[in-house]
A and B are shown apart, each in its own frame.
Chain A
Amino acid sequence: MEYVIEMRNIRKEFPGIVANDNITLQLRKGEIHALLGENGAGKSTLMNVLFGLYQPEKGEIHVRGKKVNITDPNVANELGIGMVHQHFMLVEKFTVTENIILGNEPTAKGQVDVKKAAKDVEAISKQYGLSVDPNAKIEDISVGMQQRVEILKTLYRGADILIFDEPTAVLTPQEIKELIAIMKKLISEGKSIILITHKLKEIMEVSDRCTVIRRGVGIGTVDVADTNQDELASMMVGREVNFSIQKKPSEPSNETLEISSLVVEDARKVPAVNGMNLSVRAGEIVGVAGVDGNGQSELIEAITGLRKAKSGSIKLNGKDVTNWKPRRVTESGIGHIPQDRHKHGLVLDFSIGENMVLQTYYKRPFSRNGILNFSTIMDKAKSLIKEYDVRTPSEMTPARALSGGNQQKAIIAREIDRSPNLLIAAQPTRGLDVGAIEFIHSKLVEERDKGKAVLLISFELEEIMNVSDRIAVIYEGKIVAIVKPEETTEQELGLLMAGAKRKKAGETT
């Protein structure tokens, strides 16, 4: 069998750590080959080896049957290997065309031939069904379109082997569908694709074969047609994984959170939350389902005191907490796992220990009369690290050095440990692998079973369906429907999220 790319027994070491050990990856022409592994398993390292950013200590790389030495990304480009990065490498102020030709500009008489460039871009985008506006500025187009620009960039440079690094992490469900169609189109035009991901569903949907890496070691390659999600998950994690969470029916009691006629304006002074009513009772998980940008962030910010509510009220256990300062809100019993863990959740340059007391450092026993008690703080951190299985070398390690999953576990440990009456979890599993997701979901259910109220905000319908006891669908700043997960389907939720009216009970299919 002829492979377009064959990476044989790759080993890459960093001081004190083996990032890749004896990994073999063989890409057939015209296939979508998934590269699956947990966060930090070594997927990116392997791809950086292929892209010439790292040199392997051992192993060989063959491209189209010929042994090659990829010393830097330019060599990779010449070999027709292109990378679609997870974090886009685009110049915001440039147009689509300018970004695509950047570094490879067609010139006429010493000037950039903009006309020719635009024509070329248009031709390629037609050929592969990648609709973009060549003259739009990057800052004005959607994330999905920016990703198409990234793809076009690699195609413009003549790539026929494309590496997609976690391409769906930033996309909406609709955009994911479009991307999958694009990938299939690329294959039909004779390209080959390596898809880096830890989302099993996507692998099942698009890929032909799948290579699994666990903790830097190649576990094996399987035909996707002969396997299933459970098998892939246990290959990746090294044990059986529970997808559907085990939980008993909820026993909701009194109302913990009561939101009525809430109006919150966003940064542009447009009402993002627009007359919302919502309640969460103790002992239940309410999932807020909706497309990003329908007022979810503003809702959370208003509850937690980070943004002023324009009108309406927020009550916690019957007490009006509208427009309280964040500290007062926190002290009155709200825990908050923020959507953006790097921006709001952690001070990345603080140690894990310091991060564990972010809302409690000024209280006894962590400080007395304004003097911090570091040994108590670190003892607390140690016990939380143990209890929540945060994988960190020590409590003194800066939060920045931890993997995403472990950072999230640290935040969850801190928030749940304060034993809040209401726990707000915003996108708590974004970017995490199945093992971490399973852990976080079980913790949310555990809180519920302790009689706490949990408000879950997520863009992943699967998560909403799996974890919630009630689902509130948010659309244009209002709750447009409240449904029970066992009485609805992802399709119906999708329609409600898009603003469709709900059919009367009994009519849902």
Chain B
Amino acid sequence: MKLLKGKWASIALTAVPLLSVALGLLVGGIIMLVSGYNPIVAYAALFNGIFSNTYVLGETVRQMTPLILSGLAVAFAFRTGLFNIGVEGQLLVGWLASVYIGLQFEGLSPIVHIPLAIIAAALAGAIWAFVPGFLKAKYQVHEVITTIMMNYVALHVVNAIIRTYLLAPGERTDQINASASLQSPFLESITDFSRLHYGFVVAIIGAIIMWFLLWKTTTGYELRSVGFNKYASEYAGINVQRNIVLSMVISGAFAGAAGAMEGLGTYGYMTVMADFTGVGFDGIAVALLGANGALGVVLASALFGGLKIGALNMQSVAQVPTQLVEIVIAMIIFFVASSYLIHWISNRVSKRGKI
């Protein structure tokens, strides 16, 4: 009896995201109808906007790239029972670090320069996440509060550094050296001059690292153990405090690498930020939809990236505002979050004996 519950739970784990996506699209369609748009035309345009040509495909993958890494950051922390809301801030410091390294070292080989810049970004994100991790482990300060605060600190510190030391005309930094750039004329040419860059390779490697680290190493065993049950972990001689800090640091490294995707890939520079990028916050939704798994995060990023790129076509072809896609995304998140409701209904049904 209890066993079956386990089996049902794993089915629900995959069914809930899929069902949520379907319900999200359905509700989005109803809202379109009510607002006087034709949902079929709109969704057709959305679909074409993701798949119809190589340009939009390239753009979708570009959009996915930082999302994957920021989703991995949230998911990784969550596996250890921590809620890293600070991915956005860690991403910003990572972005700046990658651009800074990209601006230095003229004449370096890309084989050295690119990894160096990405590592610097990961390191910056890791340091930024270390602070809340340390405060949590040492003084039980709730990480949600500290990571949110660190986001604002990051935003303003990054802006101040750019303004003071790196400012170029146009409220931004200079373009990074070509040797640090992930941009690729080849990828651009095969995707009809989209902004696709080599960052997606980094993101996929990131997903593989997360999977390997969590499931194949003793470190991952400890992190998961602490996430599930810190008392049993302590009993088993695992250092709970150290693992809390470690989890935040690794999570921050993923977030920092996400920033490098923007700094070395999409833009090649960093502007003075008026506001957050939102990529870090989207990472929370991606991790939620992806059930905190490496593959799930990649798939969820593909969906969100696709929806965002497709929305542009939806607007130009079907005249449906892009905000409607934001609503659809919000509805999907809503339905995933309310999976409790779905569990409850399925329990009610199974109790009546008509599964």
Q: Spell out A's residues near B (CB within 8 Å).
A: 13-17, 19, 40, 45, 53-55, 57, 304-306, 325-331, 336, 338, 343-350, 354, 358-359, 361-362, 367, 370-372, 374, 393, 397-398, 400-403
Listed stretches B100-108, B116-124, B228-236, B252-260; interface member? B228-236
B4 touches A15 (CB 8 A): yes
Does B353 lie at the interface of the complex (its beta carbon under 8 Å from any beta carbon of A)? Answer: yes
Residue pair A327, B228 in contact (C-beta under 8 Å): no
Task: Tell me which of B216, B219, B221, B353 has the highest count of chain A C-beta atoms within 10 A of its own C-beta.
Answer: B221
Q: How far is the CA of A211 from the CA of B228 in the complex (A)?
A: 39
4 A-B pairs with least C-beta separation:
A327-B237, A358-B236, A344-B235, A326-B237
Out of B6, B217, B232, B351, name the residue touching A54 (CB < 8 Å).
B351
Which residues from A are CB-within-8-Å of B20?
A: none
Give the distance to chain B from A422, nearest Cβ to Cβ, in Å: 16
13 contacts between A and B (CB under 8 A): A15-B350, A16-B4, A304-B235, A338-B235, A344-B234, A345-B235, A347-B228, A358-B232, A361-B218, A367-B217, A374-B216, A401-B2, A401-B3
> Smallest Cβ distance from A417 to chain B, in angstroms?
14
Rounded to whole Å, the gap between the CB of B211 and the closest CB of chain A is 13
Nearest CB to that of A355 among chain B residues? B232
A504 to B66, CA, bound (A): 79
Please indicate the chain B residues that have their CB under 8 angstroms from the CB of A343 in the complex: 229, 231-232
Residues of A within 8 A of B6 (CB): 397-398, 400-401
- In the bound assembly, the distance between CA atoms of A151 and B218 in angstroms comes to 49
In the complex, the chain A residue whose C-beta lies closest to that of B237 is: A327
Q: What residues of A have a CB within 8 angstroms of the CB of B2 in the complex?
A: 400-403
Contacts of B235 in A (CB 8 A): 304, 306, 326, 336, 338, 344-345, 358
Contact A397 B3 (CB under 8 A): yes
Closest CB in chain A relative to B278 CB, distance in Å: 32
| B70 shortest CB reach to chain A, Å | 25
A345 to B6, CA, bound (A): 20
With both beta carbons as reference points, the residue of chain B lying nearest to A374 in the complex is identified as B216
Expressed in whole angstroms, the minimum distance between the Cβ of B237 and any Cβ of chain A is: 3
The answer to whether A372 touches B216, judged by C-beta atoms less than 8 angstroms apart, is yes
Closest to A349 in B: B228
In the complex, how many angstroms separate the beta carbon of B351 from the nearest chain A beta carbon?
6
Cβ distance A47 to chain B, nearest Cβ, rounded Å = 14
Nearest CB of B to A457, in Å = 15
Which residues of A are found within 8 Å of B355, using beta-carbon distances? 15
Residues of B within 8 A of A361 (CB): 218, 221
A-B contact count (CB 8 A): 97
Interface check B225, CB cutoff 8 A: yes
Interface residues of B in 185-210 (CB under 8 A from A): none
Q: Is B224 located at the chain interface by the 8 A CB criterion? A: yes
Not counting A338-B235, A372-B220, a sample of 7 additional A-B residue pairs whose C-beta atoms are within 8 angstroms of each other reads: A15-B350, A17-B4, A57-B353, A330-B236, A347-B225, A359-B236, A367-B217
Contact A348 B237 (CB under 8 A): no
| CB of B15, distance to nearest CB on chain A (Å) | 16
Residues from chain A with Cβ under 8 Å of B350 in the complex = 15
B1 at the interface (CB under 8 A from A): yes
Contact of B218 (CB < 8 Å), options: A16, A349, A367: A367
A308 to B224 Cα, complex, angstroms: 26
Residues of B within 8 A of A305 (CB): 237
Q: How far is the CB of A380 from chain B (nearest CB, A)?
A: 14
Encoded as 1 (CB less than 8 Å from any A CB) or 0, chain B from 1 to 42 comes to: 111111000000000000000000000000000000000000
Give complex CA distance A372, B222 in Å.
11
A452 to chain B, nearest CB (A): 20
With a cutoff of 8 Å between Cβ atoms, the chain A residues found around residue B221 in the complex are 354, 361, 372
- By CB atoms of chain A within 10 A, which of B1, B5, B224 has the most? B1
User: In angstroms, how far is the closest chain B Cβ from the Cβ of A48?
Assistant: 9
Complex CA gap A330/B235 in Å reads 9
Beta-carbon contact of A325 and B218 below 8 Å = no
Alpha-carbon distance A330/B1, docked complex (angstroms): 35
How long is the Cα–Cα vector from A42 to B214 in the complex, in angstroms? 38
Q: Name the residue of chain B whose CB is nearest to the CB of A15.
A: B4
Inter-chain CA distance A345–B232, complex, in Å, is 6
Question: What separation, in Å, do the CA atoms of A306 and B233 have in the docked complex?
Answer: 11
In the bound complex, residues from chain B placing their C-beta under 8 Å from that of A354 are: 221
What residues on A are CB-neighbors of B351 within 8 Å?
53-55
Is B219 in contact with A370, judged by CB distance below 8 angstroms? yes
Cβ contacts under 8 Å, B353 to chain A: 13, 55, 57
**Which residues of chain B are within 8 angstroms of A397 by Cβ–Cβ distance?**
3, 6
B221 closest partner in A (C-beta): A361
Which chain B residues border A374 with CB–CB below 8 Å?
A: 216
Residues of chain B within 8 A of A53, CB atoms compared: 351
Residues of chain A with a CB closer than 8 A to B224's CB: 350
> Contacts A371-B217, A372-B217 given: A19-B1 contact, CB under 8 Å?
yes
Q: Which chain A residues border B352 with CB–CB below 8 Å?
A: 55
- Minimum Cβ distance to chain B for residue A282 (Å): 24
